[in-house]
Amino acid sequence: MEINNIVEYIINKIQKNNFNAYVVGGCVRDSLINKIPKDWDIATNATPDQVKSIFNDINIVDTGIEHGTVTLFINKEGYEVTTFRIDGNYSNNRKPDEVFFVSDIKEDLSRRDFTFNAMAYNHNEGLIDPFNGSNDLHNKIIRCIGNANERMNEDYLRALRAIRFACKYNFIIEHNTFKAILNNSNLINLISQERINNELSQILIHNPIKGINLLNDLNLLKYIIPELYNTINVKQNNPYHIYDVFNHIVNSTNNIENTLYLRLTMLLHDIAKPETKTTDENGIDHFYNHATMGSTIAENILRRLTFDLDTITKVKKLIELHDCKIPTTITEVKKLLNKTNEQTFIDLMKVKKADMQAQSKHAITEKSFDIEQAYLMLNTVLTEKHCFTKKDLKINGNDIINIGIKEGKQIGIIINKLIEIVIENPDFNTKEKLIEIISNL
């Protein structure tokens, strides 16, 4: 197994000072499946003070000193070094009340979550694998160390981590681990929204179909996003749909590229359908105003889950527009661009395509051509520099004031009216013609 050169230097220097040191956890796991580790974690029987003494010539920061962790900064990169430890009681189902330093790497590995995260390695001793994590890794199995129920009660975020690993690596959750997650699902209420956000985001990026279904199968969805849980078994008796609302959402989320705000858009785009469902005299279901209502519900969900304002703004806008008519003329393209911008237009077409691909063949046949044509017309509008915003007008506010219009709201009203006219009549976008139009308003 190959180790980063600087990490190897750190381990060797600790060993030369008569202590043991290993790379541990995720970096060992990833290396064994030929993935480049994102971070390298080092464990040692040296105490933090002893580590500082060994590396007294470099910058060291006490990043987690209460848990035995210091970070060595070499070539502007940080490398965490943690003393072997075992955890005390978990009175808050989140963090141990205290930790105890130990001298044996196997004791340290025993406190970790899953078997494939409980391996250590150095060149002298090779792989240290007391819980057969490499075997589980080979067989693509997620298994808690020891008593799965105890592991979940210690820190229930491990439930979401298990789902994330299942999605990232396409692994399965072993029976006892699955059962422990399911039986303790109410403990998710003790986990902060920020930590849930982090795991949920990665689940959506890696494999939304598997992830959302696991969240539901493990009784977690109703706690994390109850609004989404409420879409389960909501039928859509409509020529455009073959799935109920929940399964349509799951499939459409999987259809779009793995950009987080786009995945979140699809996850929440039909969130208001249970509340807006009506059935006409022919037995056909309708969901009038679900896009507008859904954008508000989505905003509330994303705020609750502590997503950043930029993500919330993008998702809300796309959901608000996702049910709009696909533009089929140059004029309609410009009108939509005027309400959005180039990137939002492109994102919206991606959303509509993902939505359409999770509908009936009737919808796919009808809409796919229109989406492709919309992209072509967008390119024409941008290449030929058509006017669709006020910055494209051949007249500005000062010009309007100079012809006798007083400053104030009237200027904005006139500019918006001119944009409407020029979108419909591109040849009118000359200063002379626009002044003429203003004089006749």
Q: What is the CATH number of the domain that holds 368?
A: 1.10.3210
| Model pLDDT for residues 286-339, shown as the tens digit of each residue | 999 999 999 999 999 999 999 999 999 999 999 999 999 999 999 999 999 999
Q: Which two tokens stand for residue 364?
A: 């796919």
pLDDT of residue 97: 66
At 81, which amino acid appears? V
Q: Beta strand pairing status for 41-44 and 21-24?
A: antiparallel
**Which letter, b or e, does each residue of 230-239 get, where b requires 16 or more Cβ atoms within 10 Å of its Cβ?**
bbeebebebe
- Residue 31 and residue 123 in one domain: yes
Q: Is 294 exposed, middle or buried (0-12, 13-18, 19+ CB in 10 A)?
A: buried
- Residue 57 and residue 193 in one domain: no
- Residue 56 and residue 187 in one domain: no
- Residue 373 and residue 351 in one domain: yes
**What total of structural domains would you count in the chain?**
4
- Residue 48 and residue 89 in one domain: yes
Q: What is the CATH number of the domain that holds 69?
A: 3.30.460.10
Last residue in a domain, options 116, 135, 154: 135
Q: Which two tokens stand for residue 354?
A: 């993902």
| Model pLDDT for residues 384-397, shown as the tens digit of each residue | 999 999 999 999 88
- Residue 128 and residue 188 in one domain: no
- Residue 230 and residue 248 in one domain: yes
**Which letter, b or e, does each residue of 362-385 get, where b requires 16 or more Cβ atoms within 10 Å of its Cβ?**
ebeeebeeebeebeebbeebeeee
Counting as low any pLDDT under 70, the low residues of the chain are 88-97
- Residue 257 and residue 403 in one domain: no
Domain of 342, in residue numbers: 225-383
- Reference 245, options 232, 256, 255; nearest CA is 232
Last residue in a domain, options 171, 195, 219: 219
Element spanning 40, H or E: none
* pTM, 2 dp: 0.92
- Reference 352, options 385, 374, 381, 378; nearest CA is 374
Query: DSSP code of 123?
Result: T
- Residue 168 and residue 102 in one domain: no
- Residue 327 and residue 422 in one domain: no
pLDDT of residue 117: 97
- Residue 319 and residue 367 in one domain: yes
- Residue 113 and residue 254 in one domain: no
pLDDT of residue 96: 65
Last residue in a domain, options 113, 135, 157: 135
pLDDT of residue 417: 94
Q: Percent of the chain having pLDDT more than 70?
A: 98
Distance CA 52, CA 313 (A): 46
